[in-house]
Amino acid sequence: MFTQIKKYFQKARQEIDKDYAISAPDTDSTVQNRPGDGSEPLLPRLWTGVDLDGTLARDNGFSGMDRIGEPVPAILALVRKMLNNGIRIKIFTARAGDPEQIPIIRQWLKDNNLPDLEITNTKDYQMQRLYDDRCIQVERNTGRLIVDD
């Protein structure tokens, strides 16, 4: 049992240590600063999160954790368009909390002709937008819910 737990955390550490930087054109507005002579600081790039199950991939509720549904064509096309425009995309999914899910997600991305995107379940200050089937947008600083009636 202890050996399995140790292996689990080793896999998690390896995943965290990976570098998934995808270079974007210098004209990309999400690149805030590029160092020239090394004296300027490199500011973090903004990113857009795209949920996996129910947003980028169909979720019929019966797939289980070892399978990801078929792609949702409209979101798949949107992700490709954003990538072609140099926007940094991260797959934002609860599955990322389990290191054993990462290879399954990577294979799904590959099978659907998407690059090796970053995978996370954590927001940070550089996240500028999130596409998700479970969220309700709230107007900034007011608490007013933005809903389609």
At 15, list the tokens: 């995943």
Give the pLDDT confidence score for residue 148 in this predicted structure.
76
Domain of 139 in residue numbering reads as 45-149
Indicate the number of domains in the chain.
1
pTM above 0.85, yes or no: no
Listing DSSP states for 26-49 in one string gives TT-TT-----SSS-S--PPPPEEE
- Could you tell me if residue 8 is inside a domain? no
- Could you tell me if residue 22 is inside a domain? no
- Could you tell me if residue 106 is inside a domain? yes
The rounded Cα 13 to chain-centroid distance in angstroms is 18
Distance set, CA 142 to CA 13, 23, 132, 139, 146 (Å): 39, 36, 21, 6, 11
Give the pLDDT confidence score for residue 86 in this predicted structure.
94
Instruction: Count how many Cα atoms sit within 13 Å of the Cα of residue 40 in the half-sphere of its side chain.
Output: 9
Give CA torsion, residues 148, 53, 107, 50, to 10 deg.
30
- Could you tell me if residue 79 is inside a domain? yes
Give the pLDDT confidence score for residue 21 in this predicted structure.
42
* Through-space distance between the first and last CA atoms of the chain, rounded to whole angstroms: 51
* Residues in contact with 103: Cβ distance below 8 Å, sequence separation at least 6, in sequence order: none
At 127, list the tokens: 């996240």
- Could you tell me if residue 144 is inside a domain? yes
Give the pLDDT confidence score for residue 83 in this predicted structure.
97
Q: Can you give the pLDDT of all 149 residues of the chain as single tens digits?
A: 767 666 666 666 666 555 444 443 333 444 444 445 565 556 678 999 999 999 999 997 766 788 999 999 999 999 999 999 999 999 999 999 999 999 999 999 999 999 999 999 999 999 999 999 999 999 999 999 998 76
- Could you tell me if residue 60 is inside a domain? yes
Give the pLDDT confidence score for residue 2 in this predicted structure.
67
Reference 118, options 135, 132, 134, 105; nearest CA is 105
Give the pLDDT confidence score for residue 60 in this predicted structure.
77
What CATH number has the domain bearing residue 124? 3.40.50.1000
- Could you tell me if residue 54 is inside a domain? yes
- Could you tell me if residue 3 is inside a domain? no
